[in-house]
Amino acid sequence: MDNNKWRVLDDTVTHTEYFNYDDETGQSHLKYVYKQTAQIVDQNKSIQGKDAFKGENNELWHLAQIPPSVIHAWMQEDPPLDIFNKDHKERLLKRLDDPDFKYLRVNTSRIGKKTMHI
């Protein structure tokens, strides 16, 4: 596949979508490049704290801000992790509690299984 033949299909504020047709194999390929990953991660790091985004009466907390590129990567895993699927709640909370994914968190207190709002 010749990487010079990628054509822009869509270019938005959040991502650019590219198309490529491989003459040798006859296959079409789509590629998404997300633009705001670094901005979102930097924003998360700048406001991280135990009480960040705590509700007035402790009713709701903003826990994380996950960039579209990370959501897309998680959907490609086997099995996929779909953050919008309530059946994946336990895996999502475990992933967000993992120190390797601290950069996605806004509120840094442990969430575990106690969160009921997902």
pLDDT tens over the chain, length 118 residues: 555 689 999 988 778 899 999 989 999 998 888 877 888 878 777 777 655 555 666 666 677 888 888 998 999 999 999 999 999 999 998 998 888 888 888 877 776 655 555 4
Token representation of residue 16? 């650019």
Q: In this structure, are 46 and 98 located in the same domain?
A: yes
Q: Do 90 and 56 belong together in one domain?
A: yes
Does 118 fall in a domain?
Answer: no
Look up residue 81 and give its two tokens.
Answer: 């992790």
> Is pTM, for the whole model, over 0.85?
no
Q: Are both 104 and 84 inside the same structural domain?
A: yes
| Residue range of the domain that includes 19 | 1-35
Record the tokens describing residue 113, joined without a space.
């299984």
Cis check for the bond before 99: say yes or no (omega within 30 of 0).
no
> Inter-axis angle of helices 68-75 and 37-47, to 10 degrees?
110
65 occurs within a structural domain: yes
**Same domain for 43 and 30?**
no
DSSP letter at 54? B
Given a contact cutoff of 8 angstroms between Cβ atoms, the answer to whether 68 and 12 are in contact is no
Any idea which residue has 């590219």 for tokens? 18
Structurally, how many domains does the chain consist of? 2
Q: Is residue 48 part of a domain?
A: yes
Provide φ and ψ at 20, rounded to 5°: -145, 135
Q: Is residue 117 part of a domain?
A: no
Query: Does 47 share its domain with 83?
Result: yes
Structure tokens at 33: 């490049």
